[in-house]
Structure 1
């Protein structure tokens, strides 16, 4: 079995495993009230990411490298696994933290808004986003360049599988960290864990409907694999609690945006008068209401 096949098995198992736990604990049935609009957005975004965006980034960087810098192909393949892993953390996960943080600015928010428009948490909405949000994500292109330089094989497979498992777990409606907080002997362990990786408690706070309950932190908790970036850069908010409501207030007021507008803005625009998905539209800010 080659590394790519093993990676697909690991990631597929993580998706299926978390989905089964959502159903087994009945968290999915109780909390996920998805519409047909939600399903289309999440399905088409997942397919486009796997079939178009990620292959495009890898193939383009490979072609550019072979055309412009053929002498650099596999130039770093002799590096130790831990050196490669460390560079991947910086080149992929840190840049994704920075890209995610930047996407909450007025300029880039329309490209990330779709991820927050889900009124539920679940593995199904992990990759819910705007098509151009992923296409412009620096980490995908940096990862492609690193693969060209020789970061492939088992190191990249291990890194990506671990990262996606953590991200899927952070979005899962099954709150795997909740019972662990209640075990007194694990308090020191969980204190470390919640400051290193993204957990449901910290990431759900990022998807909260409001910051006013003292739990939500949609202006922070940007970490994807590592929550440690939030700790370092001062955007962390840790409560070990979960927001009561998920989603966007303007959608609750005006109704959902159509999936095509969420996925393909700025190519297509919303028809809503009060919308971030149209030129000149308004971005809802609860502090100004």
Structure 2
């Protein structure tokens, strides 16, 4: 069970954007620890194979029901539900999707990754370079 799968460059950027303001604003370490505990719990919770519904929370905080659509390969779920914690962002950007039914299929589609860990680390940069005009 993985709470996230991220490229190391993405991890560095995400953590810097998340934690630098906490330190600059002078929050106590206990606040950081509480945040880390919540984030860790929430990541495992939303990725859990739980068919629970939370009608009162479904548009307030992400739940397994909401996040399952982020991983769906059903056509209606592609490029939906990007929010980590607050569905408000998906509502604002038009990417929220939370129908009454659950996804039928999960996983990636039309994605070919090279074999090997190092090749996969380099892959996003090669693909971006190849997509540039004249690249």
| TM-score when normalising by structure 2 | 0.75
By how many angstroms is 1:209 displaced? 1.7
By how many angstroms is 1:266 displaced? 5.0
Equivalent of 1:199, from 43, 46, 63?
A: 63
The match for 1:129 is 6
Equivalent of 2:80, from 214, 220, 233?
A: 220
The match for 1:74 is none
By how many angstroms is 1:142 displaced? 4.4
Instruction: Give yes or no for the alignment of 1:229 onto 2:89.
Output: yes
The match for 2:44 is 168
**Contact in 1 for aligned 2:46/2:63 (Cα 8 Å):** yes
**Contact in 2 for aligned 1:164/1:225 (Cα 8 Å):** no
Hey, what's the Cα distance between the residues in 2 that align with 1:240 and 1:165? 25
**Contact in 2 for aligned 1:201/1:241 (Cα 8 Å):** no
Superposed CA RMSD: 2.6
By how many angstroms is 1:129 displaced? 1.8
By how many angstroms is 1:257 displaced? 3.0
The match for 2:23 is 147
Shift in alpha-carbon separation, 1:158–1:151, aligned structure 2, 3 A? same
The match for 1:250 is 110
Bigger Rg over Cα: 1
Equivalent of 2:121, from 263, 266, 273?
A: 263
Shift in alpha-carbon separation, 1:143–1:169, aligned structure 2, 3 A? same
Hey, what's the Cα distance between the residues in 2 that align with 1:241 and 1:222? 19
For structure 2, which runs of at least 5 residues remain unmatched after alignment?
none
The structure richer in helix per residue is 1
Q: How many residues align?
A: 130
By how many angstroms is 1:197 displaced? 1.5
Shift in alpha-carbon separation, 1:240–1:263, aligned structure 2, 3 A? farther
Hey, what's the Cα distance between the residues in 2 that align with 1:233 and 1:147? 30
Shift in alpha-carbon separation, 1:225–1:143, aligned structure 2, 3 A? same
The match for 1:99 is none
